[in-house]
Amino acid sequence: MSTPLNAPSAPRDPFVAASGVRTRPGLVVAWTLLMMGGIAMMVPLVYMVATSLKFPHEVYDLNIIPKEPTFENYIYIFKNTRFGLWFVNSLVTSTFVTISVLFFDSLIGYTLAKFKFRGREIVFIAILTTLMIPTEMLVVPWYIMAKNFGWLNSYWGIMFPGLMTGFGVFLMRQFFSGIPDDYIHAARVDGLGEFRIWWVVAMPLVAPALSALTIFTFLGNWTAFLWPLIATNDRGLYTMPVGLASFSGEYLTDWELIMAGATIATLPTLVVFLVFQRYIIRGVVLAGIKG
Amino acid sequence: MAELSLRDVVKRYGDIDIVHGISLDIADGEFVVIVGPSGCGKSTTLRMIAGLESLSGGTISIGGRVVNTLEPKERNIAMVFQNYALYPHMTVFRNIAFGLYAARLPKAEIELRVRKAATLLGLTDLLDRRPSALSGGQRQRVAMGRAIVRDPTVFLFDEPLSNLDAQLRGQMRTEIKRLHHTIRTTIVYVTHDQVEAMTLADRIVIMRDGRIEQMGHPLDVFHHPASTFVAGFIGTPKMNLVEVGVQADAADARLDLGGGAALGLPQGAARIGGRSRIILGIRPDDLQIRPVGQAGAGDGVRHLSGEVVLSEPLGSTTQVISRIGGSEWIGMSDGHFIPTPGSRITMIPDARRLHLFDIATGKAIADGGTEVGTHLG
């Protein structure tokens, strides 16, 4: 229904704002809900940053803007704790695990999607079943394995359980299945070997899935707590979540220090998200195929 | 360039044979079109030539060399796919040069070959674009460019025009034909469009249910279809194929079209060979429609009378569907004559262009050259 704005006799459409922009009741509800969700998500973050800028005596005041803003906490954690090292540990392990997951999961996913071989479905189902086992149940076997192989208290010990994931294989297989076979056949006729077809042709076509997998894997490992806590007791090998948790003692918790560390900890996740999210949104897969 | 030979080629999936031992020899530089309805095994055959499907039996050789177990890249073939299969993340240049990079050719050589192909196909201005910024026809040309630059011994086309609209399809058809005249490479082209097959081919191969139904020069196939299937498949509009009764004496035969109408086949008894019913085929172009009483000089008594069911004006001609007895026939009239449904018209079959087929096998028993006389009922 369109109402001429300057028609004097026409009754005013209640859903057309004075500016002429049409608003629907559904949109109003949607925006309200989204805003409430956004605020609910933002509040803890805002408090995190605010607390990190406060002195200890002000921590339990609920004011958002600190009375005496200070960077003391940041300086303290870098000067007097091994925070910098934990940051590096987290960065190294998360990055390595992410690269490994991207490489192996997409290779396995591609093979399961594009090659027909005996037992293919069984392999896929077996990989899927690993998704249904909670981490807590796996921790004991991981620990026994790491202990027997002498991997405790090492980067490798922190990383090995995550180097390949069932979820990543599942995600990549689904995306590779969506690539028309003609792309692969054309490359085969053009003389590429199977590995190069995967790398040069298939991988760029699933860029959105790779971006999603990058974000999930990096964030998952960056925030991982339980396994890194179990796998390490050398403070120099702590990852950041484990290190931050060590600020919380039995009788006293240094909230302002934890919040300063947590604020820094969110920065890489923000960077990863901002860099890769646009690849998720840009779905370019089918532009070269007319179907 | 090379000749291509298929010997007793079989493709089997599980217990089901998709291609039943076909044999085909294609000369160096020949343009062969494999045509047939969906599921006839034509694309499978092409993919076996390309090496994208394995053979279940028989041999394929290119340039005298058996290629059964060779990888696609070792066969020196190029293929144009139905969906073009252009890589969306690469420019037109990179797409065309793709096979050359794969072959690790020197940069200067790649540049030279791509420019040459682009000039040939009118793509010079588009080399920096991505496939998503191209029209359907341009994408098709890029796909052809990718095949040309590799200078293959055999070109394979898998329904390359089926995604284009009718006008563009006609235009691209011409371009492909011109391209073949220029580069003179052996081409195997698969399509379900009989017009493409007719216009492009040096030789048509018509496939049905995994077997070759007939092959030959397009006009040969058109004028002498070996079966009712070929007769119905090749030619637009479709050939009229109607079951008719036969009465024969010692020498002559008479085809009973129903409703009292009949066509005489002087000296036709021997060809009919004692059959009591056959299938008569007449192409619509060989069945002229005229107003009653305007049969024209020289047509004598060789005309039939029918009732118009529908007229479809096409401009220079009118396609007229009319009924004789219980069956309907498509004929052509002059574009100025558009008979109204229900009216009566005169139908004049071209006496030299009658096709007769066996009812049980569908195979041709006599075709063009059979003289007829008509008996009005």
What integer best gives the mean pLDDT of chain B? Answer: 87
Q: Give the pLDDT band of residue A37 (cuts 50, 70, 90).
A: very high
Question: What is the rounded average pLDDT of the residues A127-135?
Answer: 90
Q: pLDDT digit string (tens) for B193-218?
A: 888 999 999 999 999 999 999 999 99
Residues B57 and B95 in one domain: yes
| CA separation for the pair A66, A181 (Å, rounded) | 60
Q: Which of A26, A5, A30, A6 is nearest to A16 (CA)?
A: A5
Q: Is residue A86 included in any domain, yes or no?
A: yes
Mutate: best of A114, A115, A184, A190, partner B, most B CBs <10 A: A190
Residues B223 and B247 in one domain: no
Q: pLDDT digit string (tens) for A162-210?
A: 999 999 999 999 999 999 999 999 999 988 889 999 999 999 989 888 9
Q: pLDDT digit string (tens) for A143-169?
A: 999 999 999 999 999 999 999 999 999
What integer best gives the mean pLDDT of chain A? Answer: 86
Choose among B84, B98, B130: nearest Cβ to A290: B84
Instruction: Identify the domain boundary among B197, B232, B267.
Output: B232
Higher pLDDT, A1 or B351: B351
**Chain B: residue whose CA lies nearest to A185:** B52
Q: H or E segment at B278?
A: strand B277-282
pLDDT at B296 over 70: no
Q: pLDDT digit string (tens) for A66-83?
A: 888 899 999 998 888 888
Q: Which of B361, B355, B334, B162 is nearest to B242 (CA)?
A: B355
Residues B171 and B197 in one domain: yes
pLDDT at B53 over 70: yes
Touching check for B137 and chain A: CB below 8 Å?
no
Q: Which of B186, B168, B215 is nearest to B64 (CA)?
A: B186
What pLDDT does A165 receive? Answer: 93
pLDDT at A257 over 70: yes
Q: Give the pLDDT band of residue B268 (cuts 50, 70, 90).
A: confident
ipTM score here? 0.79
* Side-chain-side CA neighbours of residue B225 (13 Å): 28
pLDDT at A285 over 50: no
Choose among B82, B84, B103: nearest Cβ to A191: B103
Touching check for B131 and chain A: CB below 8 Å?
yes
pLDDT at A124 over 50: yes
CB-count burial class (<10 Å; 0-12, 13-18, 19+) for B20: middle
pLDDT at B375 over 70: no
Q: Is residue A271 included in any domain, yes or no?
A: yes
What pLDDT does B1 receive? Answer: 57
Tokens of B372: 């007829």
User: A-B interface: how many C-beta pairs under 8 angstroms?
Assistant: 86
Instruction: Identify the domain boundary among B197, B216, B232.
Output: B232
What pLDDT does A281 receive? Answer: 58
pLDDT at A282 over 70: no
| CATH of residue A157 | 1.10.3720.10
Residues B361 and B248 in one domain: yes
What pLDDT does A291 receive? Answer: 35
Residues B312 and B340 in one domain: yes
Residues B216 and B103 in one domain: yes
Residues B184 and B292 in one domain: no
Q: Give the pLDDT band of residue A215 (cuts 50, 70, 90).
A: confident
Q: Is residue A23 included in any domain, yes or no?
A: no
Task: Give CA torsion, residues B220, B224, B230, B233, to 10 deg.
Answer: 70
Terminus-to-terminus CA distance in chain A, angstroms? 36
Mutate: best of B87, B95, B129, B157, partner A, most A CBs <10 A: B87
| CA separation for the pair B289, B285 (Å, rounded) | 10
Contacts of B163 in chain A (CB under 8 A): 290-291
Q: Is residue A28 included in any domain, yes or no?
A: no
| CATH of residue B35 | 3.40.50.300
Q: Is residue A58 included in any domain, yes or no?
A: no
Residues B221 and B247 in one domain: no
Higher pLDDT, A43 or B296: A43
The segment with the largest mean pLDDT, out of A263-277, B92-106, B257-271, is B92-106
CB A143 within 8 A of CB A230: yes
Domain ranges, residue A258: 77-281
**Chain A: residue whose CA lies nearest to B147:** A190
Residues B196 and B275 in one domain: no
Residues B264 and B354 in one domain: yes
pLDDT at B373 over 80: no
Q: Give the pLDDT band of residue B366 (cuts 50, 70, 90).
A: low
Percent of the residues in chain B that have a pLDDT greater than 70, as a whole number: 94
Domain ranges, residue B54: 4-232
| CA separation for the pair A256, A74 (Å, rounded) | 9
Number of domains in chain A: 1
In three-state secondary structure terms, A91 is: helix
Residues B20 and B93 in one domain: yes
Q: Is residue A22 included in any domain, yes or no?
A: no
CB B84 within 8 A of CB B140: yes
Instruction: Identify the domain boundary among B210, B232, B254.
Output: B232
| CATH of residue B323 | 2.40.50.140
B116-120 contact pairs (CB < 8 A, 24+): B116/B149, B117/B145, B117/B148, B117/B149, B118/B92, B118/B93, B118/B145, B120/B145, B120/B148, B120/B179, B120/B182
Q: Do B102 and A285 touch (CB under 8 A)?
A: no
pLDDT at A289 over 50: no
Q: Give the pLDDT band of residue A248 (cuts 50, 70, 90).
A: confident
Residues B122 and B254 in one domain: no
Q: Is residue A60 included in any domain, yes or no?
A: no
pLDDT at B173 over 60: yes
Higher pLDDT, B119 or A18: B119
Touching check for A121 and chain B: CB below 8 Å?
no
Tokens of A235: 């403070």
Q: pLDDT digit string (tens) for A10-31?
A: 555 555 555 556 668 888 999 9
Q: pLDDT digit string (tens) for B231-253?
A: 999 988 899 999 988 887 777 78
pLDDT at A284 over 50: no
Number of domains in chain B: 2
pLDDT at A246 over 80: yes
Q: Give the pLDDT band of residue A269 (cuts 50, 70, 90).
A: confident
Mutate: best of B75, B79, B114, B159, partner A, most A CBs <10 A: B79
What pLDDT does A163 receive? Answer: 95
What pLDDT does B376 receive? Answer: 37
- Quote the distance between the C-alpha of residue A66 and its chain's center: 31
Handedness of CA A162, A163, A169, A172 (dihedral sign): positive
What pLDDT does A15 receive? Answer: 57
Q: Do A287 and B88 touch (CB under 8 A)?
A: yes
What pLDDT does A20 receive? Answer: 58
Q: Is residue A222 included in any domain, yes or no?
A: yes
Higher pLDDT, B303 or A9: B303
What pLDDT does A5 receive? Answer: 45
Touching check for B149 and chain A: CB below 8 Å?
no
